[in-house]
Amino acid sequence: MSAALQPVAAGGERAEAEVILELANVESAYGPIKAIRGVSLVVRRGEIVTVLGSNGAGKTTILKTISGIIDPRKGTVKLRGENITAMDPSLIVRRGLSHVPEGREVFPLLSVHDNLLMGAYTRRDRDGVARDIEMVYDYFPILRERARQDAGLLSGGQQQMLAISRALMAAPALMLLDEPSLGLSPKLTKEIFEIVVRINRERGTTMLLVEQNANMALNAADHGYVLENGRIVMEDSCERLREKEDIKEFYLGMKDAGARGERRWKKKKTWR
């Protein structure tokens, strides 16, 4: 059975499911600019985990470090217990990691169908690949309609659906999703998030999602980390994060007018 088809761990408690991804004290930089510092996080089988953070907080850098695009200066990245720190990205893909990058990046001159086949290039089980193509067409029926069309002719939302579907075609143990809401209308964003959650619940696909759209991410995910200036400042279940005053105020835009202004936000060091 592929990793994607294994059932979600029974019990639902975070502590019980197998650790799929573990980052310990990871630091990555672009030349002199330290983009993330001391980042530690865990993703367990069957979970959707989200990293929330504003523009430039370091979310994309975390994902690029996991998938081997950036080599960290410090710390370790483990996938299913194996140390994959700074491993070649193509080898990390073969170990079960699929990355849906920011900005989608489909192959524009290949058909939708061929894009999906590209996603399955590491697999040898032809029957399973054919079944999974039908599976993604069932989740995103518009892709079935456009199967023979060049991917470059799809709308932004359809390209996002294709990018997610292509990642699923690898039958990943872990899928990384970088800002799936970017550039999409609220309606389309909601539609795509609903399908992502269905895929997680129905197929048990483990996901790490980074998002600026905190509202969507906190509703979709099980567990969340808050990233600020390259550091994790808070983590909790999304249920509890949604109730925290700082999250409501600074990420969900539910400002308690008057009492807590921007100056306080900038000065503030402690999250609660």
Ranges within 209-228 binding ligand ATP (CB under 6 A) = 212
In the complex, what is the shortest distance from the CB of residue 64 to ligand ATP, in angstroms, rounded to a whole number?
Answer: 7
Buried/exposed code over 77-115 (b: 16+ C-beta within 10 A; e: otherwise): bbbbeeebbebeeeebbeebbbbbbbebebeeeebbbeb
- Binding segment (CB under 6 A) for ligand ATP, from list 39-47, 51-59, 149-157, 241-249: 51-59
Which 109-148 positions form the footprint of ligand ATP (CB under 6 A)?
none
- Which sign does the torsion angle of CA 4, 163, 98, 240 carry? negative
205 binds ligand ATP (CB under 6 A): no
165 touches ligand ATP (CB under 6 A) = no
Whether 221 contacts 62, CB under 8 Å: no
By C-beta, is 132 or 179 nearer to ligand ATP? 179
How many helices and strands in the chain, by DSSP H and E? 11, 10
Selection from 21, 15, 243 nearest residue 234 by Cα: 243
What's the CA angle centered on 123, arms 117 and 125, to 5 degrees? 100
**57 is a site residue for ligand ATP (CB under 6 A):** yes
Query: What phi, psi does 195 have (nearest 5°)?
Result: -70, -40
Min dist. Cβ of residue 53 to ligand ATP (A): 5
Which CB, 143 or 218, lies closer to ligand ATP? 218
> Which lies closer to ligand ATP via its Cβ, residue 6 or residue 212?
212
Q: How far is the CB of 225 from ligand ATP (least distance, A)?
A: 12
Number of residues that bind ligand ATP (CB under 6 A): 13
Q: Nearer Cβ to ligand ATP, position 57 or 196?
A: 57
Q: Name the strands in the sheet holding 74-79, side by side, starting at the edge strand that comes first in the sequence.
A: 33-44, 19-30, 74-79, 82-83
CB of 208 vs ligand ATP, minimal distance in Å: 13
Task: Give me the least distance between CB of 144 and ligand ATP, in Å please.
Answer: 31
Candidates 4, 20, 21, 35; binder of ligand ATP (CB under 6 A) is 35
Judge whether 108 and 66 are in contact, CB under 8 Å: no
Decide: 49 and 105 in contact? Cβ < 8 Å: no
Residue 42: strand pairing partners: 22
Contact residues toward ligand ATP (CB under 6 A) are 30, 33, 35, 53, 55-61, 102, 212
